[in-house]
Structure 1
Amino acid sequence: MTKDYKYQHIAQNITRLIKTGVLKPGDKLPSIRTICQEQGISMNTAKRVYLELESKALIISRPQSGYFVAQVPLRQLPLPATSHPSGKDSRPLPVQLVSHVYKDMGKKNLTLFSVGIPAPELLPVAKLNKCLLKASRELKESSVGYESLQGNEKLRRAIARRSFMWGGSLGPDDIITTSGGMNAISLCMMALTKSGDTIATESPLYPGILQLAQSLGLRVLELPTHPQTGIDLQALKAVVKEIDLCLLVTNFSTPLGCCMPDENKKAVVKLLEKHHVPLIEDDIYGDLYFGPSRPISCKSFDKTGNVLWCSSVSKTLAPGYRVGWVSPGRYKEQILRLKHLHVLSNTAITQEAVAGFLESGGYDHHLRRLRDILQTNCIHYTNTIASGFPAGTRISRPQGGLSLWVELQKGTDAAVLYEAAIRQKISIAPGRMFTLQKQFDNCMRLSLGLPWTEQLQRRLQQLGRIAGQL
């Protein structure tokens, strides 16, 4: 076990004891010397453990006395309500609102709570640049030639090796690379549907997927979704004979951050296979877990090739590289034909660079740091919202991912809040963007992917004050 992993493993264990109530507010923690003896670690590593917990506001240091569990390690607010979509496309997606929010991307003078990717400061840009230089030297034809249709073989091998972390057991030949995660989903949806077909999804859902489904002429059937456990299995069973395709973000979905329990994933795979309904699994956030291990995927239970598993590095490593992939199961030939028509070849140098970064071990080191930051941010956001937002506010409790879902009091219009906040240089993603139903008008998604600073805390507090004035 590496030194970096050792300290994180100990910190995670103590965090779990605090969150489960085994260690209670005010309890004294073992001394640094005791931690060294019990865990077989150095003084520096033990100090790093406690510094980590202090940065998350889970413990406090008292001079001459030691370390203690903080009195309020996490201020809990009620969970948002389970969604209850009506089953009909009751209104169109607010295209103008979606367009305005996404136009905010890249603007340097805004606090971008609206953008669901890690900020550049949280990404290993210098190391990626070195990987690009190495890729340009090692690629045949100096990286200017076409890649094979199925994609960079080195990258496919690296993805296949990583699939063992979640029981995927994939080989390089099971994977097709794409131009980002949405390109993978787009190819799958085009291959498996025709205009007029019905696709079942969770609710709320990433607006890009809703826009894509509408552009293909699909009827979107939104399913009731719990903010922690995902879609209602009984609701899926009730409509499974009416649908042609199912799409689920099984691990830490945006915007709710919910993660389907393993038994639910297994049941979904079995149910959809029985009724010959393909499942597109968007697992783009699976590596951003806050717990001790990565959650498994629906693909882990797929024995017949009915699950099309999609992912990318857009939310974890390099949004601008546009490197994604799909393991399409028995639909491989359909996906390859469509890729040939629409893409032909992906960018060789970025695929090679990502493959090199994955193979070097740099990706795992980066992910450990990024997960730490996102989990700490989640705690800071939660405490700030609990202390400064209007009474009646509810928030999600994600166990991974990049999103926090905030439900304000009924009657609050998050689209109006967006307009008021943007005048103060704060951008949010109103809940109205994440559904085709008449719901979530009083909700918003906040990105956890920003570096936590005193200035960011003040901006979040300011957002709470603006919400209170509406």
Structure 2
Amino acid sequence: MNKEFLYTEIANGIASQIRNGILKAGDKLPSVRKLCLDHQISMNTAKRVFLELESQSLVDSKPQSGYFVSKILSVKLPLPEVSKPSLIANNDEPDELINKIYENIGKKDLTIFSIGIPSGDLLPVAKLKKEIINATRVLKEGGTEYEELQGNVKLRRIIAVRSLQWGGNFHENDLVTTNGGMNALSFCLMALGKPGDTIAIESPCYPGILQLANGLGLKVLELPTHPTTGIEIEALKKVIPKIDLCLLIPNYNAPLGSCMPDENKKEVVRLLSENGIPLIEDDVYGDLYFRPNRPKCCKSFDKEGNVLYCSSISKTLAPGYRVGWIAPGKYKDKILKLKLLHSTSSISIVNEAVANFLKSGKYEKHLQQMRKTLHNNYQNYVQTIAESFPDGTRTSRPQGGLSLWVEFDKSIKTTELYDLAIRENISIAPGRMFTLQNQFENCMRLCIGLPWSEETQLKLRQVGSLSKRV
């Protein structure tokens, strides 16, 4: 039997059992291995069965536990529409709106759904403090000296080892440390682009990337993006002659939470490499997966050194520590020159502390708990939205990360909703922040990185109530 037909047939059979109530919400499904034995299929085919069921929101994966019938099956919230930006470069930056939202960082009297970072309550703060103290004792001169230009060797070594999880196969010498993820992206854009060049990105896209590209004089071309699978490959093919570089967040894009399938990542890498267009890959959310395994990266398929892989601990461990890194491939010399010019050295004590934390195994234990918490938060958010928000509301179905994208009826303007919510000490992120075009006025991004509590649920319900008044 044709493999394409086989995995679809098996998925349809399980889907029918779920929809008919034979399998109920919360029921555990057979493991990938058991599905292989029961149907005499390969591991890859079995995984495709579960991917198909996940795409229909019929099942959820729990790290270390397996697949379960979705608890939000009764929630009939459709997916947001595929974005349809103009394929003409634009730079209509919503500066005032972005500044207004980011002024809320650190305000203790607000419930901040608007900023995509994990709450400190989800982070191992006490353990990190100990590592900082230990680093001052171990480092020469207490960490007051400069590091070597490429960065802390121990940190680069452990990052290289961890890259084996997704096919990175880095050597410590492939990596350059930076002062956070945005610093990594900044170096890449400065190394590869010049004013007037055109960069292709997802739409919607993280505001910091839009501001950075604009600030460097780049023309931004936004690509149609599916809320589950990321950029539309055919759209990318059409604009290849127009673009000079590309920047993507393939794993759990902010704000959609989408994850590009491996075949799409492979095709994007091939397409850009053949046309001599560098790809900057932002993978800051890659460790926050809800499925049993970490997704591969575009860098996994890079044979030419054309992908500049960027990541950090800002979304997983310590936003304020500003620890990031680049695997710049064939552009390494350009990145090192920029680092020497702009920062000379990363922060010695912090990089040593983070290296020791990662090496100790504490990071993996922390991530396991954090992934579980974020997945539960996502389910709680969607359930509350279904109960409290206006009819016709749509939500994304993130497979990982910190973002949930909400799409209202066209009549609801989320900039107006923000103004109402902030009076109730609630901050949301209006959709217009995530584009340089006049779109997403009826959308918003919610961060799922807050501890779930009665208070969090109450505030989310308030947002729903306020949205009915806009």
Instruction: State the TM-score, normalizing by the size of structure 2.
Output: 0.86
Alignment of 1:36-435 (within 5 A): 75-89=75-89, 92-435=92-435
Shift of 1:94: 1.1
**Superposition deviation, residue 141 in structure 1:** 1.7
Secondary structure of residue in 2 paired with 1:224: strand
Q: Output the CA distance in 2 between the equivalents of 1:215 and 1:315.
A: 24
CA distance in 2, matches of 1:432, 1:245: 24
Give the direction of change, closer, same or farther, for the CA distance of 1:432–1:28 in structure 2 (3 Å limit): closer
Is 1:464 aligned to 2:464, yes or no?
Answer: yes
Residues 95-138 of structure 1, C-alpha deviation per residue, up to 9 Å, x if partnerless?
11100100001000000000111100000001111111111111
The answer to whether the 8 A contact 1:23-1:69 is kept is no
Counterpart CA distance in 1 for 2:15 and 2:347 is 46
Paired letter, 1:365: K
Residue type of the alignment partner of 1:421: A
How far did residue 70 of structure 1 move? Answer: 9.2
SS in 1 for 2:118: coil
Residue range with higher mean Cα deviation, 19-28 or 239-248? 19-28
Q: Number of residues paired by the alignment?
A: 419
The verdict on how the C-alpha distance between 1:23 and 1:344 changes in structure 2, with shifts beyond 3 A counting, is farther
Kept in 1: contact 2:89–2:198 (CA 8 A): no
Distance 1:27 1:229, change over 3 A: closer
Q: What do the CA deviations read for 1:137-196 (whole angstroms, capped 9, x no partner)?
A: 111121011111100000000100000000000000000000000000000000001100
Are 2:115 and 2:447, in contact at CA under 8 Å, matched by a contact in 1? yes
Residue 24 of structure 1: CA displacement?
A: 2.4
Deviation, 1:437, is: 1.1
Match of 2:447 in 1: 447
Question: What TM-score do you get using the length of structure 1 for normalisation?
Answer: 0.86
Matches of 1:224 and 1:183 in 2, distance apart? 26
Q: Which runs of 5+ in 1 are unaligned?
A: 1-16, 31-57, 60-67
Residue identity matched to 1:420: L
Q: What is the CA distance between 1:209 and its match in structure 2?
A: 0.5
Amino acid paired to 1:405: W
Indicate how the Cα distance of structure 1 residues 69 and 303 shifts in structure 2: closer, same or farther if over 3 A, else same: closer
Stretch deviating more after TM superposition (126-135 or 91-100):
91-100
Q: 1:25: Cα distance to partner? A: 2.6
CA distance in 2, matches of 1:19, 1:160: 43
Q: Is the 8 A contact 1:93 1:435 kept in 2?
A: yes
Mapped to 1, the partners of 2:26 and 2:435 lie a distance apart of 45
Contact 1:74 1:379 in 2 (8 A): no
| Structure 2 contact 91–219 (Cα < 8 Å) conserved | no
**In 1, distance between residues paired with 2:338 and 2:274?**
27
RMSD: 2.1
Contact 1:198 1:245 in 2 (8 A): yes
Counterpart CA distance in 2 for 1:408 and 1:443 is 6
Identify which range, 252-261 or 136-145, moves more after superposition: 136-145
User: 1:73: how far off?
Assistant: 5.5
Conserved 8 A contact 1:89-1:437: no
Kept after mapping to 2: 8 A contact 1:357/1:363:
yes
Structure 2 Cα separation of the partners of residues 23 and 345 of structure 1: 60
Deviation per residue, 1:224-281 (Å, 9 max, x gap)? 0000000000010111121110000010010000000000000000000000000000
Contact 2:91 2:214 in 1 (8 A): no
Match of 2:23 in 1: 24
User: Given that residues 390 and 467 in structure 1 are in contact (C-alpha distance below 8 angstroms), is that contact kept between their aligned partners in structure 2?
Assistant: yes
Secondary structure, in 3 states, of the residue corresponding to 2:308? strand
Using a 3 Å threshold, how does the CA distance of structure 1 residues 27 and 410 change in structure 2: closer, same or farther? closer
Deviation of residue 71 (structure 1)? 7.6
Q: Is the 8 A contact 1:198 1:242 kept in 2?
A: yes
User: What do residues 387-437 of structure 1 show as CA deviations (whole Å, max 9, x unaligned)?
Assistant: 110011000000000000000110211111101100110000100000011
CA distance, structure 1, for counterparts of residue 285 and residue 98 of structure 2: 22
CA distance in 2, matches of 1:71, 1:87: 39
Q: Name the aligned partner's letter for residue 160 of structure 1.
A: A
The residue number in structure 1 matching 2:55 is none
Q: Secondary structure at the match of 2:84?
A: coil
In structure 1, give the amino acid aligned to 2:113: F
Deviations 1:422-463 (A, max 9, x none): 011000010000001111000000000000001110110010
Q: Which residue of 2 aligns with 1:51?
A: none
Instruction: Check 1:24–1:419 CA distance in 2 against 1; reply closer, same or farther (3 A cut).
Output: same
Cα deviation for residue 88 of structure 1 reads 2.7
Which ranges of structure 2 fall in alignment gaps of 5 or more residues?
1-13, 30-58, 61-67
CA distance in 2 between partners of 1:191 and 1:70 (Å): 45
Q: Distance in 1 between matches of 2:320 and 2:141?
A: 23
The 3-state SS of whatever aligns with 1:84 is coil
Q: CA deviation at 1:28?
A: 7.6
Match of 1:7 in 2: none
Offset of residue 92 of structure 1 = 1.4
Deviation at 1:76, TM superposition (A): 3.6
CA contact (8 A) 2:91 2:437 kept: yes
Counterpart-to-counterpart distance in 1, 2:71 and 2:392: 23
Secondary structure in 2 matching 1:469:
coil
- More divergent stretch after superposition (171-180 vs 127-136): 127-136
The runs of at least 4 aligned residues of structure 1 exceeding 2 Å deviation read 17-30, 68-74, 88-91
One-letter code aligned to 1:188: C
Q: Is 2:134–2:353's contact at 8 Å kept on the other side of the alignment? A: yes
